[in-house]
Amino acid sequence: MSKADDELKEKSLAQAAVLGEALPYMRRHAGETFVIKYGGHAMGDKTLASQFANDIVLLEHVGINPIVVHGGGPQIAEMLDRLKIQSSFIDGLRVTDAATVEVVEMVLAGSINKQIAASINDAGGFAVGLSGKDGNLIRATKVRRTQRDPDSNIEKILDLGFVGEPKTITTHVLDVFKETDMIPVIAPIGSGDKGETFNINADTAAGAIAAAMTAKRLLLLTDVAGVLDADGKLIQKMDAKQARQMIEDGTIQGGMIPKVETCLNAVEDGVDAAVIIDGRVPHSLLLELFTEHGAGTLIEAD
């Protein structure tokens, strides 16, 4: 047997071992709903985007019901720049006036949504692109933020424009999809009571949909390894009490706070567990779901 044959045999044995390790997890997760928030570097890198599409198709083929909710901040910013529309941020949320919300909807529910659905279809899946306005999936209400003036100590209300948060999730269309092989790909755009269009944070939308669908897992793909301890080491698993304590003592800070809070809200509303995953790692979804050690930080209820 040649060296090339030996290497091929070793590679085949390694692949067989991986499948053997994954089988119990495939059985455990079959029939369950998984909501995956897709964004960040994973969405901007062509290789990672292709791998993500293949991974979503694999989840569906092994009996899992995947629901994809996507962001698109960089693409929105690029289009606003091209159209010379000024925008700003407050607490990480884009201030969205009437002109901006039209661009947000065009980019999120248009080009990005259809690109992701097409990638999944090219990988052998049957994806259908939706926005939260379709089938009244996401009914939204205006987000309100307050800010205290450091000099006068007076609290004032900040107007973020057409920035919303989920009020109700109508699961009918997703329940119908669940009975088929269709994979919903959802843009985080919602409708207000007066017909307004609201831009919704993708993490927040994914968490609300996961809770409404009583999902087994909420998975947030990020650009960091997960939640890190005070020494900068990855925490593989924690409960809600630990997570809250780490926010209070400052171990969890900055942009990780709203992500962890989204996870906490989801598990408190009935999701079995939420996971913050590094989307920059190839096949991070499969590593998290089908291996013993996972690939991120899993947060469970107390």
pLDDT tens column, 176-216 = 999 999 999 999 999 999 999 999 999 999 999 999 999 99
Distance, CA of 198 to CA of 202 (rounded, Å): 12
The answer to whether residue 17 is domain-embedded is: no
pLDDT tens column, 216-241 = 999 999 888 899 998 989 999 999 99
Decide if 196 contacts 97 (C-beta within 8 A).
Answer: no
Query: Is the pLDDT reported for residue 156 higher than 90?
Result: no
The answer to whether residue 15 is domain-embedded is: no
The answer to whether residue 179 is domain-embedded is: yes
Distance, CA of 182 to CA of 125 (rounded, Å): 8
pLDDT tens column, 278-299 = 999 999 999 888 887 778 999 9
The answer to whether residue 8 is domain-embedded is: no
Tell me what pLDDT residue 94 has. 77
Distance, CA of 240 to CA of 46 (rounded, Å): 35
Query: Is the pLDDT reported for residue 14 higher than 60?
Result: no
The answer to whether residue 16 is domain-embedded is: no
Q: Are strands 197-200 and 217-222 parallel, antiparallel or unpaired?
A: unpaired
The answer to whether residue 163 is domain-embedded is: yes
The answer to whether residue 227 is domain-embedded is: yes
Distance, CA of 232 to CA of 209 (rounded, Å): 31
Backbone angles phi, psi at 15, to 5 degrees: -65, -40
**Dihedral angle sign, alpha carbons of residues 80, 70, 272, 257:** negative
pLDDT above 90 as % of the chain: 62
Decide if 175 contacts 151 (C-beta within 8 A).
Answer: no
Tell me what pLDDT residue 152 has. 61
Please give the average per-residue pLDDT across 90-114, as a whole number.
Answer: 87
Total domain count for the chain? 1
The range of the structural domain enclosing residue 75 comes to 30-300
The answer to whether residue 23 is domain-embedded is: no
Which of 147-151, 247-251, 256-260 is predicted least confidently? 147-151
Q: What is the pTM of this model?
A: 0.89
Decide if 80 contacts 97 (C-beta within 8 A).
Answer: no
- The CATH number of the domain holding residue 87 is 3.40.1160.10
Query: Is the pLDDT reported for residue 1 higher than 70?
Result: no
CA angle 16, 22, 25 (to 5 degrees): 160
